[in-house]
Structure 1
Amino acid sequence: MKRLTTLLIGAALALGAQLSYAFPDKPIRLIVPYPPGTGTDTLARYTARQLEAKLGQPVIAENRPGASGIIATQAVVSAAPDGYTLLLAANAPVATNVAAFAKLPYDPLVDLAPVAVLAQAPMGFYVYQDSPYKTVADLVAAARKDPKKLNYGAGSATYQIASEWFLSLAQASANGISYKGAGPALNDLAGKQVDFVIAEYSGAQALVQAGKLRLLAVTTDKRLASAPDVPTLQELGYKDFFKVAWWAMFAPAKTPAPVVKALQDALLEIYADPKTQAFLAQSNFISFIGDAAALAKFQKKEIELEIATAQRANIPKQ
């Protein structure tokens, strides 16, 4: 599956100057850009528990939702570069926002220090359980017949660009409604406040299993083993459509290299552990491990891809 493979862990960062103090010697704040109940929050709280056990200091997950992850990212960018304030981010605040916002208050390639890339997950195309749209084709036909009648929910810029990209390929229109994360968007979909949502597969499964949402398609290039009867959007004729969510850890820029390396090494050990691999599989995540150097290269490529996608779909910046 494209990009749904483990990143090769590059050469370890040079240790450089030795720290003159023990790290960590006090609690670490792990800033989460989305509210509880999201895939990002699930991953962050698991990571916080494992880091706490590994490093011997409390690691406190702190939710700072809003503005497509900008609020949380600014909190980390403006924090002291000492390794005690970290960002566990999905695509939007560290990649997609560059393509989505005309005046982003930070540069994710300059103001953040990559630590490690951790996981990926496919996205799904969802409607509420008793929606009149039984297939993607049904929904597209309705959107073409009455442009701007339908509403979609977007939990971040990542999902907004994914939705608008799909609509451009379908030659259809719908009204986008922004939410503070995929969780609130999916909850409103279950409540019939919007007509469809493209969101991470892992975060939507509870509502699907509760009989509140239906999965019409997935955004990867192959069907999922956990949903073998659900087609890909590529199968349905949207041949270029491929989109996944991914998660990574960042620190403020100028965090000392030995601190970044200590955090990187701890995370790589945690995510290579069979216990974590089992957690990822059970939670519908996919292992996608890479060190700081691999993350830096991957992030840059993702930004370039998001910009190209937005331009190809004629999506204006906010």
Structure 2
Amino acid sequence: MALASGHAAAQAEYPDKPIKLVVPYPPGSGTDTVARYAARRMEAALGKPVVIENKPGGNAIIAAQTVINAPADGYTLLWAANGPVTTNVALYDKLPYNPLTDLEPVARVAYSPMGLYVPADSPYKTASDLFADAKKRPNKLNYGSGSATYNIATEWLMSLVGAKANAISYKGSSPTLTDLAGKQVDFAIAEYSAGLPLVKGGKLRMLALTSDRRMKSEPEMPTLQELGYKEFFQVAWWGVFAPKGTPKPVVTRIESTLLTIFKDAETAQYLDQNNFSAFIGTAEQLRAFQKTEIERETKLVERFNIPKL
């Protein structure tokens, strides 16, 4: 009875100070954009400031370890995309943490498709043009990779195409696409939401989508599945994690707050306007999904002989 009362008190008192939301990618990325929207809504719901702290770099390992090493009290949370909580497990031989044992799942909230991009004046007018040249000239083209997730996605696609290209690593989609527009690399798979403004601004050309359906904002843009790569599907999804050992009542309070926010009409409108989609899941569902994704991505790395990091 005393333990139950203590848990109830912890939940009732939380939060009593600002909450830090650690984002593994730089400002301007889709991950950052949705995190800032969520932070604003969380502030209104919880009555305390929710501060974004961008910690890009190291394929999101820096951000993950920042949260893992923080006090397990619910005041430092990880706004995670695929990379730090699933993809890194598949891609690293010696990952310095275990996302299944070092982090508590809180909630899954949304996803963004990815786009296949080239510079606006690239000779590649279609995805087929790019693939044909990549096949004809193995390892002569460079692609930008904003995280481990994009690395796996691009290597998977190149394997399906029967081509090889060189990865150039970046700290998220935004710097990847900036360099792509400047012709520092030849092509990139990156967040749809981050690339679309550059397409509209005449700096990039989009060749295809990585999702299983077209987007309302670009209804003429085909998916890679439509172009013949039936099994190819990769999106950037987002969820929130807390340090291992965070009290269950605190996790439940954050979980219920996020699920309420991402189920309401205001958020539905926001997601639609910004080319995102709701992808809602409880803490339990997030953990099950995380395990499934780790297994799927590990098999992809093995199947296509993607080099370990």
User: Could you say which TM-score interval applies, normalised by the shorter chain?
Assistant: over 0.9
Which of residues 70, 73, 93 in structure 2 aligns to 1:79?
70
The separation in 2 between residues aligned to 1:37 and 1:121, in whole angstroms, is 14
Larger % of helix: which? 2
Secondary structure of 1:18 counterpart = helix
How far the C-alpha of 1:15 sits from its partner, in A, is 10
Q: Deviations over 1:145-195 (max 9, x none)?
A: 221111100000000000000111111111100000011101111111111
> Aligned residue for 1:4?
none
Question: Residue 60 of structure 2 contacts residue 83 of structure 2 at CA under 8 Å; is this kept in 1?
Answer: yes
Would you say 1:189 and 2:180 are equivalent positions? yes
- Opposite residue 48 of structure 1, the aligned amino acid is A
CA contact (8 A) 2:83 2:148 kept: yes
2:20 maps to a residue whose letter is R
CA distance in 2, matches of 1:248, 1:262: 15
Corresponding residue for residue 259 of structure 1: 250
Which 4+ stretches in 1 moved above 4 angstroms?
none
Number of the residue aligned with 2:200 = 209
How high is the TM-score relative to the length of structure 2? 0.96
Output the TM-score relative to the length of structure 1: 0.93
Matched residues in 2 for 1:91 and 1:15: separation?
36
Distance 1:55 1:136 in 2: 46
2:90 to 76, 96, 99: 99
Amino acid at match of 1:210: G
Query: RMSD value over aligned CA atoms?
Result: 1.4
SS in 2 for 1:198: strand
Partner residue, 1:178: 169
Deviation of 1:92 after TM superposition, in Å, equals 0.5
The equivalences for 1:14-29 within 5 A come to 17-20=7-10, 22-29=13-20
User: In the alignment, what sits opposite 1:168?
Assistant: 159
Identity %: 61
Q: Quick one: which of 267, 279, 290 aligns to 1:299? A: 290
- Indicate if the aligned counterparts of 1:15 and 1:258 stay in contact, CA closer than 8 A: no
Asked whether the equivalents of residues 15 and 261 of structure 1 are also in contact (C-alpha less than 8 Å), the reply is: no
Cα distance in structure 2, aligned partners of 1:205 and 1:138: 21
- The corresponding residue for 1:145 is 136
Distance 1:242 1:15, change over 3 A: farther
How far apart, CA to CA, are the structure 2 residues paired with 1:241 and 1:313? Answer: 13
Aligned residues: 305
Contact 2:7 2:249 in 1 (8 A): yes
**1:270 aligned onto 2:261:** yes
**Superposed CA offset, 1:207-248 (max 9, x none):** 111111111011122322322211211222212111111000
Matched, 1:65 2:56: yes
Aligned counterpart in structure 2 of residue 130 of structure 1, from 102, 121, 124: 121
Contact 1:16 1:257 in 2 (8 A): no
Question: Does structure 2 conserve the Cα–Cα contact (< 8 Å) formed by 1:124 and 1:219?
Answer: yes
| 2-structure distance, mates of 1:82, 1:95 | 23
- Alpha carbons 2:215, 2:275 under 8 Å: kept: no
